[in-house]
Amino acid sequence: MINVVCGIRSTGRICTDLATELEKQGHEVKIAYGREQVPQQFRKYAVRIGSDFDVKLHGLKARVLDAAGFGSKRATEKFIKWVREYDPDVIHLHNIHGYYINIEVLFEYLKSCGKKIIWTLHDCWCFTGHCVYFDYVDCDKWKTGCFDCPQKKEYPARIGPDMSRTNYMKKKRIFTGVSNMTLVTPSQWLTDLLQDSYMNEYDVKVIHNGVDTEVFRPVDSRIKERYSCADKKIVLGVAAIWDKRKGLPSFIELSKKLDDIYRIILVGLTKEQIKSLPSNMIAIEHTNSVKELVELYSAADIFVNPTLEDNYPTTNLEAIACGIPVVTYDTGGSPESAKMYGTHVPKRDVQALMRVIENSGTFKPINVDVNYQTSVQKYMRLYEGKIL
């Protein structure tokens, strides 16, 4: 597998979940990654592409020349040499952006290697000239050819010239024409977008993400007592990064509208964000403790995900697995998971969010299957060339 990180955050955990199950079934797995630390228990899988210095150089090239994906040439050539020696049966791509791998070098190898190739798309970067999502600015230039990108300040941010048109054409040339490659998306929403993109030549399978339901499950929790809100109903929000696109302004507005019987708890905030939040919100910095996260989910009455750009959020699945309903904006593939236990409302409609929160006790789970074992089984069939 190839992914920007290994064993951390949503895509990194998806890779290690798959690797763990594949190893149990007798397969040998390596996860090539580009940046950050790998948790101790997953280091046996990890193969580093390049170094921190390579990432910084690639990031600088992306910022100055709008060239995300076109740095790290030597690091990628060295990695491809290792791949040839390792000689895998299956190559499974995940997130290949993040300033760590050169897409031209990578795909030159993929087009000639004769291996079974699977690419799980976790966002829209592969068919745009710059951005990973475009919902927030309501842009559809990617359908015919990007230009004059309205998101120069967003990841992968740039300060130099707009190269979105050039990038679009280069990525179209690089990413098309790969024999024996199957695309996988975690949501029907992203599959539908692919049909309008230059990636529509490929077979696409939907395999929803899952979570470890032995870990994410309802547990006894002392969270309410810890945060002195034993008599309150908990409205929970969790994100790796909180910004306007993840819906932080919606939570602030909710804090002004909700009755005092409710208490909002947000997880994943920076110290600066915490200082600026209303006093009636409970703010928690990023936690690497899965145990604490499970206790937070289990203590909540409803999970609110007011994201304005997303694919198939893992946080929704974690909440559902812990036995609480989800309400999300009608964004990307987020409603696809919320419908299993919860609902969705129109984007930016905080009043609608509030109504759902006040009636959260009426939700019943419907067809709840968020166990990642289901995803693993489908990937196994794909690796073996069987029809899903």
Stretch 282-308: mean pLDDT: 94
**What is the predicted pLDDT for the residue at 66?**
97
**What is the predicted pLDDT for the residue at 257?**
94
Tens digit of each residue's pLDDT (9 = 90 or more) over 344-353? 999 999 999 9
The CATH number of domain 9-210+373-383 is 3.40.50: yes
Stretch 91-105: mean pLDDT: 98
* Intrachain domains 9-210+373-383 and 223-362 with the same fold: yes
User: Other CB atoms closer than 10 Å to residue 96's CB: what's the count?
Assistant: 21
Pick the CATH number of 223-362 from 1.10.150.390, 3.40.50.2000, 2.40.420.20, 3.30.1490.20: 3.40.50.2000
pLDDT band for position 36 (cuts 50, 70, 90): very high
What lies within 8 Å, CB to CB, of 212 at 6+ separation is 17, 371, 372
**What is the per-residue burial (b if ≥16 Cβ within 10 Å, else e) of 341-379?**
bbbbbebeebebbbebbeebeebeeeeeebbbeebbebb
Tens digit of each residue's pLDDT (9 = 90 or more) over 6-30? 998 889 989 998 999 899 999 999 9
- Domains of the chain, by residue range, sit at 9-210+373-383, 223-362
Tens digit of each residue's pLDDT (9 = 90 or more) over 208-225? 999 989 999 999 999 999
As given in the structure block, the two tokens for residue 157 are: 């941010």
Q: Which amino acid is at 29?
A: V
Is the whole model's pTM more than 0.85, yes or no?
A: yes
CA distances from 259 to 36, 143, 321 (A): 42, 45, 27
